[in-house]
Structure formats: C-alpha cells, structure tokens
Amino acid sequence: MRLWKSRSADGILRRVFIAAMLMAALAHATSATADVLRRVEVHSDLHGVAAIAAHIRQALPGHLKQALADNPVQRFPAGAKLIVRIKEVYLSQDGGSPFPNTSLSGEFLMPDSISCDIVVVDVRGKVLLTQPMLANSSPASGGALLSPYNERHRVEALMSMLAYWVVRRLN
C-alpha cells in the first residue's frame, strides 16, 4: 500500500493554471471596484454675490479636476462623484499693505477664506463621505491690492487653495 499518491506533471500544470486564473480574476475584481475619482460637481449657496458665485461655479471644477489629476484619489468605487457645496466666501478688506496680514494703519487683517462641504457619492447616489472644509489665503495673493480688479484674482487664489486641500483630505 502506498502512503503517498504520485502526481503527474499534467495534474500539477492544471492546478497551477487554475490558481493563476483565480488570482487574475481576483485582481481584476479589485481593480474594477476602485477607480480614480474624476467626476466633479460644484454647487453654491452664496447669496448677494452673484458675480463671485457664478465665477466659482464656472472655474472651481477646473481647479478640482487639475488637483485630482495631479494627485489621483483611488479610495472610492468606480463612478464615484465629488460634490463641493460652497457655503461662504470671505474677502478681507483691501489694506494695500506691503506687510503681510496688516493694513496700512497697522491693524491685523483676516485672511480671505472659502468654506464648503465636500460630499462623495457613488453611482447610486449613496453618500460615501461628507466633510466640512475651510481654506484660507492671504489678501495679497490676488496681486496688487490697490487694483480695482483684484477680487477675481483673490477668488482664483482661494479656489486653487481649496482644490489643493480637498484633494489632500480625500487622499
């Protein structure tokens, strides 16, 4: 009586092939469930600043898509969407000071800021993540402070900063 069973080379090759197929199917299944987050939507709850709200709705998706392309987020299922709901934009007074964070009279300036809620939903609309965000930037980040056209530049700087921090928080 034999205590061990001899295995033919054909049987071993068959088992190796089946194991390789199972591992390939498992790898494909896990790669199909996690995809790079690319879909972006922006909503604005701003009242009284229609021009700034329209500019944010138009330009912020581009900032977010660029930040997501620079630092891909892969922890969410395929087809997930990032929704950013802007709640408030605060632009500090224009001090025109050459010294950061102070006005011409020497008083402290609050930074420009933008607050929002970030929400990630899957394909079916199920909420996967909800977090509040606040991003700040210097009032001088928009260029020359005494220019009458610097508001748009300051809002651009805020959107760029917000996109950076949103993607950083998602990773």
Q: Would you state the pLDDT for residue 29?
A: 55
Residue 157 CB neighbours (<10 A): 21
* Domain extent for 145: 37-170
In terms of domains, do 19 and 70 share one?
Answer: no
In terms of domains, do 144 and 129 share one?
Answer: yes
CB–CB of 52/142 below 8 Å?
no
Please write the tens of the pLDDT for every residue from 68-84.
999 999 999 999 999 99
In terms of domains, do 47 and 100 share one?
Answer: yes
Report the DSSP pairing between strands 81-90 and 112-121.
Answer: antiparallel
Q: Indicate if the pLDDT at residue 53 is higher than 80.
A: yes
In terms of domains, do 66 and 105 share one?
Answer: yes
| Span of 19-33, 64-78, 154-168 with lowest mean pLDDT | 19-33
- At residue 58 the predicted structure's pLDDT band, cuts being 50, 70 and 90, is very high
Q: How many domains does the chain have?
A: 2
* Residue at 23: amino acid letter: M
| Choice between 103 and 43, residue whose per-residue pLDDT is larger | 43
Backbone angles phi, psi at 148, to 5 degrees: -70, -10
Residue 141 CB neighbours (<10 A): 18
Separation CA 168–CA 166 (nearest Å): 5
* Residue at 127: amino acid letter: V
Local structure of 35: helix, strand or coil: coil
* Residue at 116: amino acid letter: C
Separation CA 76–CA 81 (nearest Å): 9
In terms of domains, do 18 and 54 share one?
Answer: no
In terms of domains, do 25 and 52 share one?
Answer: no
In terms of domains, do 84 and 107 share one?
Answer: yes
Rounded to two decimals, the pTM is 0.73
Distances (CA, A) of 118 to 99, 115, 161, 162: 33, 10, 14, 11
The CATH number given to whatever domain includes residue 130 is: 3.30.160
In terms of domains, do 111 and 28 share one?
Answer: no
